[in-house]
Structure formats: C-alpha cells, structure tokens
Amino acid sequence: MANSGEPTIPPETSQTAASSPAWPTPRVFLPPTASTSAQPAVASSSTSSTPSSSASRIVPPVSTEDPKPTAEEIKAAYASTLERNQRAGIGPDAPLMTKAMREKHEAKFDKGKTKKTYQEVRVRFRLPDRTQLEYTLPSASTQVLDLYPMLRSTAFSDSVPPFVLYTTPPRQDLAERDARLKGKKIGDMGWGGAAVVSVRWVEEGATSAEAKKLNRSDTTQPLREGLREKAERMEPPKMGLGDESGAATPAAPSSSSAVRTLGGGSGSGGQGEEKKIPKWFKGFKK
C-alpha cells in the first residue's frame, strides 16, 4: 500500500488522547526564601532600640515532619465530627434505628437549614518543600481519583515516584487504589469552596531512595518545565520579637502564700503565726 504521507497514530495513543480530559494549568507558589541577613543586629547604647527590619523578616527553619494541626483546627474537626455523628445518629450513646428512623432523624436536623453548594473548589496541593500547586476545579464533575492523573500530566515531570494524597486534620489518606473513593466527586468530600491536600512520596519499591530524598523539606520538587519560571513567591511569615517595653511580668503567688491566705486575709501581725484549724477539719488532716 502506498504511503499517503500522513503520520500514523497507534490505536492506544489515539484512544488515550481522546479520553484524556483537558486539565487546567496549576498556579505555582514557591516557599519564601531565607533572608541573607538572618542575624539580628545588636543595638548599642548610642543607637536606637528599635529592631532592624531584617530581624522582622527572619524565616523560621523548615520542619522535616508533617505539619501538625493547630488548636483551632482540632476544635473545628472535633465539632464537625460530633455534629456529623449526631445527624447520622451514630456513636456510643446512639440508639439502634431502622433506615426510616434514620432518615426521619436526619430530616429533623436539616429542617430550616439551607445547604450551601459550591460550583468550584479551589484545591491547593502542598509538597514536602512547602511548594503549593493551586487548581480551580468543578466540584460536580471532578472525581477524587482524577487528581492523580491530573498532577502527573500537568504538574510533575515524567518518571516521578508513586505518591499519595492526604488531608489533615485528622489525617485521611486518599489512596489511588481505594475502592471507597471510586466515583466520588470532590464536592462530596465536605471541603467547601477550598481545600489543602498534601502530597507524600511513597518510600517503597525501586524508587524508595528517590522518594525518601523528595520527602525532605530541602529537596526541590520535580515540577514540569516552565512551571517554576511562572511561579509566585510566597511572603515569609511575620515573627513577633516579643515584648519590647521591658516591663517585668508579675510573678505568680507561691503555693506557701496561697496556703497562708486560705480561709481569710493575714493581718500585719499574723505573719509567722500558725493558723488555727477548725475542729470539723481536724478529721481530714493527714
């Protein structure tokens, strides 16, 4: 057969290209860089006591551990869990209910409430070196497991080690092979209009050494060519320099003084004298 001069596309390639969705290009945020003048200047007696501007821009050392939730995040997660359990009628003190009873129980909590829906969800993927990738995705058509091929095709370079996505708090792994996530949309995850999803490289198999290196906070992440050039630099966190007034903090009263004033104030001549113990209290004395 004569060659028509048109390139022949293999069936597998054409099928993949036809079924591959058009993912958006991520918005990249790079971590803040440490200031070159990290050492704060020591103010002499002749100079002003105002701290230098370089000292206020000191970047804290990058932690190699997973980020820990704040007290506010833990309280919010705990309150959300209690509300969800109360709505569903589950928990250690919940009675056994049939399906009809459960639906009636949930309708009681939904009465008078309007559930807010979001057409889009802004998802930020946080990498081990604090680089963040931001996507704005439709909540009703984007599946949770689609986040893996989206990152591989738009963010990461070729031949990267396997990785796992997870959210905190509490930590919930969004494993790529989790059957419970099959067909589940990001709008069903309870993320609202925005979410932060962390990326962890899997330290197993032939690429365990490379994954272990990428999980370090001081290792540059394997982004696709051109993304880093268009990235935005995040502002360093502002650090408080403490109380500069020099006022001494009042000391807490000692336990001896607290015991001395228990049961009544001490007079001017009562110091050093033993307090009389009531008769009804003598039986409790050890």
CATH number at residue 158: 3.10.20.90
Instruction: Please give the helix or strand (H or E) that residue 148 lies within, else none.
Output: helix 147-154
Provide the terminal-to-terminal Cα distance of the chain, rounded to the nearest Å: 108
Domain-embedded: residue 81: no
Per-residue pLDDT tens for 29-58?
999 886 534 444 444 444 444 444 444 555
Mean pLDDT of 236-256: 54
pLDDT(187) > 80 = yes
Mean pLDDT of 118-145: 95
Helix (H, G, I), strand (E, B) or coil at 195: strand
Number of folded domains in the chain? 1
Which tokens in the block code for residue 2? Answer: 């004569």
Domain-embedded: residue 166: yes
pLDDT(228) > 80 = yes
Q: Which residue has the higher pLDDT, 49 or 213?
A: 213
Q: What is the pLDDT of residue 258?
A: 45
Q: What is the pLDDT of residue 112?
A: 61
Q: Which residue has the higher pLDDT, 41 or 252?
A: 252
pLDDT cut 90: percent of the chain above it: 40
| Confidence band of 93 (pLDDT split at 50, 70, 90) | low
Which tokens in the block code for residue 192? Answer: 């609202």
CA dihedral 157, 29, 135, 209 (to 10 degrees): 40
| Confidence band of 184 (pLDDT split at 50, 70, 90) | very high
Q: What residue numbers bound the domain in which 146 lies?
A: 25-30+112-233
Domain-embedded: residue 156: yes
Compute how many other C-beta atoms are within 10 angstroms of the C-beta atom of residue 134: 16
**151 close to 222: Cβ distance less than 8 angstroms:** no
Domain-embedded: residue 243: no
Domain-embedded: residue 218: yes
pLDDT cut 70: percent of the chain above it: 59
Q: What is the pLDDT of residue 221?
A: 95
pLDDT(204) > 80 = yes
Domain-embedded: residue 14: no
